[in-house]
Chains A and B, each alone.
Chain A
Amino acid sequence: MDVIETDIAIVGAGGAGLRAAIAAAEADPSLSVTLLSKVYPMRSHTVAAEGGAAGVAKAEDSLDHHFNDTVSGGDWLCDQDAVDFFVAQAPKELIRTEHWGCPWSRTPDGKVAVRPFGGMKIERTWYAADKTGFHLLHTLFQTSMKYPSVKRLDEVYTTDLLIEDGRIAGVLAHEIRSGKPMVILARSVIICTGGAGRVFPFTTNGAIKTGDGMAMAFRAGVPLKDMEFVQYHPTGLPGTGILISEAARGEGGILVNKDGYRYLQDYGMGPPDPWPRKKAMELGPRDRLSQAFWQEQQKGRCIDSKWGDVMHLDLRHLGEAKIAERLPFIRDLALSYVGVDVVNAPIPVRPVVHYTMGGIHTDITAGTPVPGLYAAGECACVSINGANRLGSNSLTELLVFGAVAGRNAAAHARGVPMPSHTNALAQADGHRKRVVALLERSKGTESVVGLRTALNDTMETGCGIYRTEDSLRATVETLAVLKTRFANVAIDDKSGVYNTDLTGAIELGNMIEIGETMALSALQRTESRGSHQRLDHPARDDAAFLKHSMAHRVEGEAPRVEYRDVVITRSQPAERVYGGEAK
Chain B
Amino acid sequence: MSDTTTFTLEVLRYNPESDDVPHAESFSVPYQEDWVVLDALNWVKDNVDGSLTFRWSCHMAVCGSCGMMVNNEPVLSCKAFLRDYLKDGKGTITVGALKNFPVEKDLVIVMDSFMEKLEAVKPWIIRTTEKPVEEGTFIQLPKQLKRFKHHTSCINCLLCYAACPQVGLNPGFIGPAALALAHRYNLDSRDQGKDLRKDVTASEYGVWECTFVSACSEVCPKDVEPAGAIQEQKIESSIDWALDHLIPGRKAR
Contacts and interface: CB of A to CB of B under 8 A. Distances in A.
Q: Is there direct touching of A and B in the complex, by C-beta distance under 8 Å? A: yes
B122 interface: yes
Best-buried of A142, A146, A448, A499 by chain B (most CB within 10 Å): A142
A496 B17 contact: yes
Contacts of B55: 39, 43
A491 B104 contact: no
Interface stretch (A103-111, A116-124, A371-379): A103-111
B104 A206 contact: no
Interface in B46-96: 46-47, 49-51, 53-65, 79
A110 B119 contact: no
A140 B81 CA distance: 32
Interface string B29-56: 0000010000000000111011101111
A242 B79 CA distance: 12
A131 B58 CA distance: 14
Given A39-B65, A134-B155, A48 B58 contact: yes
B59 A206 contact: yes
Contacts, number: 157
A43 B60 contact: no
B136 A95 contact: yes
Interface stretch (B139-147, B168-176, B234-242): B139-147
Contacts of A493: 50-51, 53
Contact of A145 (B104, B105, B119, B133): B119
Contacts of A40: 65, 111, 115, 156
Contacts of A177: 104, 108, 110
A421 B41 CA distance: 42
A103 B62 CA distance: 17
A446 interface: no
A493 B49 CA distance: 8
Interface residues of B, number: 61
Contact of A99 (B15, B108, B125): B125
Interface stretch (B3-11, B183-191, B204-212, B244-252): B183-191
B152 interface: yes
Interface string B18-37: 00000000000000001000
B137 A43 contact: no
A135 interface: yes
A437 interface: no
A145 B123 contact: yes
Contacts of A501: 45, 50-51
A112 B59 contact: no
Interface string B152-187: 111110000000000000000000000001000100
A111 B63 contact: no
Interface string A22-63: 000000000000000001101111011000000000000000
B84 to A, nearest CB: 11
A96 B138 CA distance: 10
A45 to B, nearest CB: 7
B63 A99 contact: no
A108 B141 CA distance: 6
Nearest to A106: B142
Q: How large, as a class, is the contact surface on chain A?
A: 35 or more
A497 B16 contact: yes
B90 to A, nearest CB: 22
B137 A336 contact: no
A98 B57 contact: no
A39 B153 CA distance: 20
Nearest to A38: B57
Contacts of A491: 50
B115 A45 contact: no
Contacts of B253: none
B214 to A, nearest CB: 22
A359 B122 CA distance: 36
Contacts of B195: none
B63 A47 contact: yes
A98 B108 contact: no
Interface in A316-366: 329, 332-333, 336-337
A143 interface: yes
A106 B140 contact: yes
A266 interface: no
A44 B45 CA distance: 22
Contact of B50 (A42, A101, A448): A448
A500 interface: yes
B2 to A, nearest CB: 10
Contact of A47 (B15, B58, B115, B144): B58
A145 B120 CA distance: 10
A98 B132 CA distance: 12
Interface string A125-153: 00000010011001000110110000000
Nearest to A42: B156
A101 B125 contact: yes
A498 B137 contact: no
A493 B105 CA distance: 12
B104 A101 contact: no
Nearest to B79: A336
Given A95-B137, A101-B185, A497 B104 contact: yes
A42 B152 contact: no
A498 B1 contact: no
Best-buried of A135, A448, A497 by chain B (most CB within 10 Å): A497
B51 A492 contact: yes
B236 to A, nearest CB: 20
A492 B46 CA distance: 10
A464 B206 CA distance: 53
A449 B46 contact: yes
B190 to A, nearest CB: 6
Given A99-B133, A145-B119, A336-B79, A207 B57 contact: yes
Contacts of B137: 95, 98-99, 104, 111-112
Best-buried of B105, B108, B152 by chain A (most CB within 10 Å): B152
Nearest to B185: A101
A103 B110 CA distance: 30
Contacts of A154: 115
B182 to A, nearest CB: 11
Given A47-B63, A240-B59, A449 B34 contact: no
A100 interface: yes
B63 A43 contact: yes
A44 B155 CA distance: 12
Nearest to A338: B34
Contacts of B65: 39-40, 43
Given A103-B149, A108-B142, A500-B53, A92 B133 contact: yes
A423 interface: no
A80 B179 CA distance: 46
A443 interface: no
Given A138-B152, A306-B1, 5 more contacts: A99-B137, A101-B191, A109-B139, A110-B140, A493-B53
> Which 4 A-B pairs rank lowest in CB-CB distance, beginning with the nearest?
A492-B50, A493-B51, A110-B139, A206-B57
29 contacts: A40-B65, A43-B63, A45-B57, A47-B58, A47-B64, A48-B58, A99-B125, A99-B137, A101-B188, A106-B140, A108-B141, A109-B139, A110-B140, A112-B137, A138-B152, A143-B124, A154-B115, A207-B59, A240-B60, A242-B59, A242-B60, A333-B61, A337-B60, A496-B17, A497-B104, A498-B105, A501-B50, A501-B51, A504-B50
